[in-house]
């Protein structure tokens, strides 16, 4: 049976896929550009903009934030949350200062059904 995803989960999956595609495209452009010129910061910034990588990254961050917010709201209705509220809320407080915690919360949010 096919899993049913929330709007936030679907948005995240779409943004992540687009980001990964743009990253591959950027890598290809970097390889091609490296053959003809040195990659300076200015050149790199231009490639990031022209390949759409910057927009894809921004969209991914927005989708992650929406997913995190959705998961925290959804989780509050679960018995497990009520029993472990302090620990779970502490995880969410750390998400902006700890990249590993942010990734962990996103992984957990994608497992919510």
Q: Is residue 11's pLDDT more than 80? A: yes
| pLDDT of the residue at 113 | 80
Name which residue leads in pLDDT, 66 or 84.
66
| pLDDT of the residue at 30 | 95
The conformation of residue 30, written as its DSSP 8-state character, comes to H
Q: How many structural domains are present in the chain?
A: 1
Q: Is residue 27's pLDDT more than 80? A: yes
From residue 65, give the alpha-carbon distance in Å to each of 8, 38, 74, 89, 107. 9, 36, 14, 16, 13
Domain membership of residue 79 as a residue range: 7-111
Mean pLDDT of the chain: 93
| Residue 43 forms part of a structural domain | yes
pLDDT tens-digit map of 88-107: 889 899 988 999 999 999 99
Rounded Cα–Cα distance for residues 13 and 8 (Å): 9
By percentage, how much of the chain surpasses pLDDT 90? 74
Q: Is residue 38's pLDDT more than 80? A: yes
């Amino acid at each position: 049976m096919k899993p049913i995803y929330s709007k936030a989960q679907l948005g995240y999956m779409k943004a992540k896929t687009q980001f990964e595609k743009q990253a591959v495209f950027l890598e290809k452009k970097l390889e091609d550009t490296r053959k003809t010129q040195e990659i300076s910061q200015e050149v790199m910034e231009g490639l990031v903009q022209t390949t759409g990588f910057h927009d894809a990254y921004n969209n991914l961050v927005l989708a992650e934030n929406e997913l995190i917010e959705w998961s925290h709201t959804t989780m509050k209705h679960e018995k497990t949350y009520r029993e472990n509220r302090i620990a779970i809320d502490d995880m969410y407080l750390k998400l902006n200062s700890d990249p590993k915690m942010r990734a962990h919360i996103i992984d957990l949010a994608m497992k919510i059904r």
